[in-house]
């Protein structure tokens, strides 16, 4: 995983147990399986740029000690599967001695969810409360939004459909959920909104709204 516009680190997982000198090795990084793009090439110790896909020129660096490729300014278009191929100069003709694959996922942080009133005037008892919650500028698409209403030491969750919009240019997501719920009479209540980003990314919570 890598954050949007940061450097992504892709490991070749090559142990080089024979301690082969890099001047006897060719290292290729390529992306994709059908329409293959050449991302980086080290030819017997020298970087080679002739075959690179244009979008990777001046965006990659290879750390030959750690066998890790640095992909600078990683974008959403860089997501996908990368393959590292190591060849050894064997009696003149190169022979593949190692391949490994890694999958790159890009993450962009969502803004803190924000609750907005969708009606004007003072709330009356037994009246329905109309709210929206929104968060923007994130990636990948989140799982869902949940509402929580707390009063009298109880918390009630509400799950409502989440509207999702993806920007055609940046590919970032904006999400919104609406809640229409009866206000508990004569009881102070707090309403929060949670954005669930997925198992490994956790959740974001809004500032509670006091009713």
What phi-psi label fits residue 19: left (phi over 0), alpha (psi between -120 and 50 degrees) or beta? left
pLDDT tens for each residue of 79-105: 999 999 999 887 778 889 999 999 999
Q: What is the pTM of this model?
A: 0.81
Q: For position 184, what pLDDT does the model report?
A: 73
- In 3D space, the residue among 107, 86, 98 whose CA is nearest the CA of residue 8 turns out to be 107
pLDDT tens for each residue of 135-160: 999 999 998 999 998 888 888 888 89
pLDDT tens for each residue of 163-185: 999 999 999 999 999 998 887 77
Please tell me the distance from the alpha carbon of residue 39 to that of residue 99, in angstroms, as a whole number. Answer: 15
Q: Is 111-210 the same fold as 2-107? A: yes
Domains of the chain, residue spans: 2-107, 111-210
| Side-chain-side CA neighbours of residue 113 (13 Å) | 30
CATH topology of domain 111-210: Immunoglobulin-like (2.60.40)
CATH of domain 2-107: 2.60.40.10
The distance of Cα 104 from the centroid of its chain, to the nearest Å, equals: 9
């Amino acid at each position: 995983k890598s954050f949007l516009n940061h450097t992504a680190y892709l490991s070749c997982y090559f142990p080089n147990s024979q301690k082969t000198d890099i001047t006897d090795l060719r290292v290729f990084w390529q992306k994709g399986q059908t329409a293959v793009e050449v991302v980086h090439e080290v030819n017997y110790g020298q970087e080679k740029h002739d075959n690179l896909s244009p979008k990777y020129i001046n965006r990659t660096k290879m750390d030959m000690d750690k066998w890790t490729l640095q992909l600078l300014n990683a974008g959403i278009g860089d997501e996908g599967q990368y393959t590292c191929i190591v060849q050894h100069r064997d009696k003149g003709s190169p022979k593949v001695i190692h391949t490994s694959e890694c999958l790159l996922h890009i993450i962009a942080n969502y803004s803190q969810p924000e609750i907005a009133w969708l009606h004007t005037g003072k709330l009356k008892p037994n009246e329905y409360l109309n709210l929206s919650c929104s968060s923007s500028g994130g990636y990948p698409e989140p799982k869902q939004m949940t509402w929580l209403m707390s009063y009298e030491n109880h918390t009630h969750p509400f799950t409502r459909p989440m509207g999702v919009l993806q920007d055609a240019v940046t590919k970032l997501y904006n999400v919104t959920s609406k809640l229409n719920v009866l206000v508990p009479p004569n009881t102070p209540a707090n309403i929060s909104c949670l954005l669930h980003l997925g198992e490994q990314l956790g959740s974001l919570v809004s500032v509670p709204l006091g009713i």
